[in-house]
Amino acid sequence: MIEIFTGIIEEVGKLSEIKKDRDLYTLKVSCKKVLENIKKGDSIATNGVCLTVTELGDDFYKAEVMVETINSTNFKNLKPLDNLNLERALSPNKRLDGHIVQGHIDGIGEIINILNSGNEIIYKIKFESDNFKYIVPKGSIALDGISLTVSKVYKNYFEVSIIPTTIAETNLKYKKIGDKINIETDIIGRYIYSFVNKKNKSKITREFLIENGF
């Protein structure tokens, strides 16, 4: 079963502990709201990473994470008491208020500037990755699991304009210049890019159709 998320953060939890046993890490996350109606085996997006719950308590859950996931996300920078964006997987009766987020991180960005501009705060994110090509102005993007809209795109960085409410309700309020942030590009945009840029494009062209009486 493929889990999807909306990018609308439900709660900011705290990392209680992170333990390594050979090639496996176990994260213990303190939280409250996202534990409602959750059972072992369910998924919770943790800083945008889809994790499977392996253990539950009254005020925490645990999840196991492979070394590859640690190294390809900002989990490698985690330390106890860090703040984590949390969201339960989308249920059939829930509104999709953000955009489709899979919890599959495309790379790690770096916050290179934070600018207060009236009623919005502009974050500049440096992202040196081949996946940068999927980022377009006015397109959707998930930063640490937060559904946002790209406002501007430059050569190797992009901007998002964020309202104060979003800042207050996510871990962005704790972020500073130089911090790393998980990036997931828009899956719909990826599919469109792949379709348009297929190497083996269809041989059915306008000229072909005319020649064959269409």
What is residue 203's three-state secondary structure?
coil
- State the pTM of this model: 0.88
Interstrand relation of 180-185 and 107-117 (parallel, antiparallel or unpaired): antiparallel
Give the helix, strand, coil percentages of the chain, each rounded to 5. 20, 40, 40
- Average pLDDT on 101-113 reads 96
What is the model's pLDDT at position 188? 86
Q: What is the pLDDT of residues 26-67, one digit of tens each?
A: 999 999 999 999 999 999 999 999 999 999 999 999 999 999
pLDDT band of 115, cuts 50, 70, 90: very high
Q: What is the pLDDT of residues 172-203, one digit of tens each?
A: 999 999 999 999 999 888 888 887 777 655 55
Which residue, chain included where needed, has tokens 């705060």? 121
Torsion angle (degrees, nearest 10) of CA 95, 98, 104, 107 = -170
What is the model's pLDDT at position 202? 56
Residues 6+ positions from 37 with CB-CB distance below 8 Å? 88
Encoded amino acid at 67, one letter: V
